[in-house]
Amino acid sequence: MAAHLSNPFSSSSSSSSPFNSFKLLFTILFLCLITIGNSQHLVVSETGELVPTEETHGLPIFSGGNNIGVSSGFEAEAEEWGMVGKKGNQFVVNDQPFYVNGFNTYWLMIFAVDQSTRGKVSEVFKQASSVGLTVCRTWAFNDGGWRALQKSPSVYDEDVFKALDFVVSEAKKYKIRLILSLTNNWDAYGGKPQYAKWGKAAGLNLTSDDDFFSDPTLKSYYKAHVKTVLTRVNTFTNITYKDDPTIFAWELMNEPRCLADPSGDRLQAWIQEMAVHVKSIDAKHLVEIGVEGFYGPSTPNRVQFNPNTLAQQVGTDFVRNHQALGVDFASAHIYADAWLSQSISDAHLQFVKTWMQAHIDDAEKTLGMPVVFAEFGVSTKTDGFNSTFRDALYTTVYKTILDSIKKGGSGGGTLLWQLFPEGTDYMNDGYAIEIAKVPSTSNVIALQSTRLMLFNSMCSTRCHWSCKKRDAIETFLYHTDV
Ligand SMILES: *[C@@H]1O[C@H](CO)[C@@H](O)[C@H](O)[C@H]1NC(C)=O
Ligand SMILES: *[C@@H]1O[C@H](CO)[C@@H](O)[C@H](O)[C@H]1NC(C)=O
Ligand SMILES: *[C@@H]1O[C@H](CO)[C@@H](O)[C@H](O)[C@H]1NC(C)=O
């Protein structure tokens, strides 16, 4: 099956493989589009909604008819590798919406260090693109320890940096953009605890790891790391990271929490300072924080949406955090199995819907920015797990974001946690999927990709398009059983 996956537009193979369904969907999409006439026209309004107009235009993408095959249309479209920007509550590239179906693979840089494992990076990109995934979130840090990028404050391992260069240059080959996270709240790959260790080794009198967010020396270490990464010149492409459109966004930190200050003031000050710091070096790229999205003290009427009462005491505050200057879009993670009960139930799916909708509503009405659900998934170690449930979970996440997209809302996209290539199971935390091993889930992913690609191509903010068969397209987009 992996061989089939390597060639998403080949015409020979069984129709049950995920990429083949993907191709089938493209074909349906193509057939829908070629029947389009001129009687009704849709454009994206200021608020991002699809609205009819009286103007007449041809199809911007699929005109001509010489190129039979939808892939050529998408390829032509993708030739301009523009920087991802933001227009109101939507992501845009080259003036077209950029709704995201993406994934996480955190260890890409680590695997790229060694020639014997470097191929896994290319493999996961290849498999991701076979199901239409366009964004990958990964770590641009490894603080201290094994294969450290930053061996000690401001001391870098050039071989590891070259590995990160490889990841960035390889991502572009597969037309995948990267969200690069700059450190970790947790001790995996160093993170906040490693910064605190460095501080103590330098003689600082620290009371907890959360001094990371307030101690001037630790803040200066982090700021220096940010500057080093953003101003890095890629040894494979010669493109400075801060100028590279392959990078979708910078993430300040994976899942920051600051239990030392439940009021949220300490973390808020850090977010504010660091978002502005990133922007002062790189004004082009989008910035997000990396929070899990728990509601905090600034919104007592929203804490009901948290998975439990502890969540409002971890020093994070979804709405307030994202009001910090320099933060371009919101993030939230979705872990019903880790947060609610470690045994599968329908309540998990209900939580996913409500949690997502609350964040989409806040991003839309209060923040005026897109929100990306930057991690979601279910562990195979959860009691009662089966692949049917995983498919139901993915479908729920995808449908909820689509409902927002359809209305021009703030739902910007989702990143599944997490996608692995073959032979890396020893890195698996229980949440990883391999495309070839989970055909039904891969079909769910590919269907979402196709729907988002249709949106990204049809909802041009620049080109108007006409659609006689609007109903057919609507059916295609929203009928969950296609
Ligand atoms: C370290 O800080 C704590 C709390 O701020 C203080 O009580 C203690 O005296 C300090 N110790 C040293 C050696 O400065
Ligand atoms: C990068 O720059 C160096 C030095 O100017 C040059 O030798 C090399 O060919 C360039 N590589 C790429 C990929 O452009
Ligand atoms: C899968 O798991 C769900 C939730 O635990 C359960 O309701 C369902 O019956 C299971 N399906 C199969 C085919 O085992």
pLDDT of residue 9: 25
Q: Which residues pair with 334 in a beta bridge?
A: 376
Between the CA of residue 75 and those of 67, 80, 81, 174, 252, what are the distances in Å? 11, 10, 11, 12, 32
Residues near ligand 2 (Cβ within 6 A): 237-238
Distance in Å, CA 259 to ligand 1 centroid:
20
pLDDT at 73 over 60: no
pLDDT in tens, 302-323: 999 999 999 999 999 999 999 9
Residue nearest to ligand 2 atom 7, measured at CA: 238
Mean pLDDT of 445-449: 98
Distance in Å, CA 1 to ligand 3 centroid:
26
Q: How far apart are CA 239 and CA 244, in angstroms?
A: 6
pLDDT of residue 457: 87
Ligand 3 pocket test, candidate residues 340, 389, 391, most atoms within 8 A of CB: 389
Q: Is 255 a catalytic residue?
A: yes
pLDDT in tens, 334-347: 999 999 988 999 99
DSSP-derived secondary structure letter, 190: S
Distance in Å, CA 159 to ligand 2 centroid:
18
pLDDT at 473 over 70: no
pLDDT of residue 10: 28
Mean pLDDT of 147-167: 98
Following DSSP, what letter does each residue of 145-185 receive, concatenated? STT-SEEETTEE-HHHHHHHHHHHHHHHHTT-EEEEE--BS
Residue nearest to ligand 1 atom 4, measured at CA: 207
pLDDT of residue 79: 60
pLDDT in tens, 172-220: 999 999 999 999 999 999 999 999 999 999 999 999 999 999 999 999 9
Range in 6-20, 103-117, 144-158, 174-188 with the lowest mean pLDDT = 6-20
Tokens 């000690």 found at: 152
Q: How many other CB atoms are there within 10 angstroms of residue 125's CB atom?
A: 25
Task: Looking at the CA of 200, name the nearest ligand.
Answer: 1
The answer to whether 370 and 405 have CB atoms below 8 angstroms apart is: no
Catalytic position from the list 77, 123, 251, 255: 255
- Residue 283 makes CB contacts below 8 A (sequence gap 6+) with none
Task: Looking at the CA of 207, name the nearest ligand.
Answer: 1
Residue nearest to ligand 3 atom 14, measured at CA: 386
pLDDT of residue 63: 24
pLDDT of residue 342: 84
pLDDT of residue 75: 44
Residues near ligand 3 (Cβ within 6 A): 344, 384, 386, 388-389
Structure tokens at 453: 């690609």
pTM of the model: 0.84
Mean pLDDT of 4-14: 28
- Higher pLDDT among residues 156 and 55, named by residue: 156
Catalytic position from the list 123, 251, 364, 375: 375
As a whole-number percent, the residues of the chain with pLDDT over 70 amount to 79
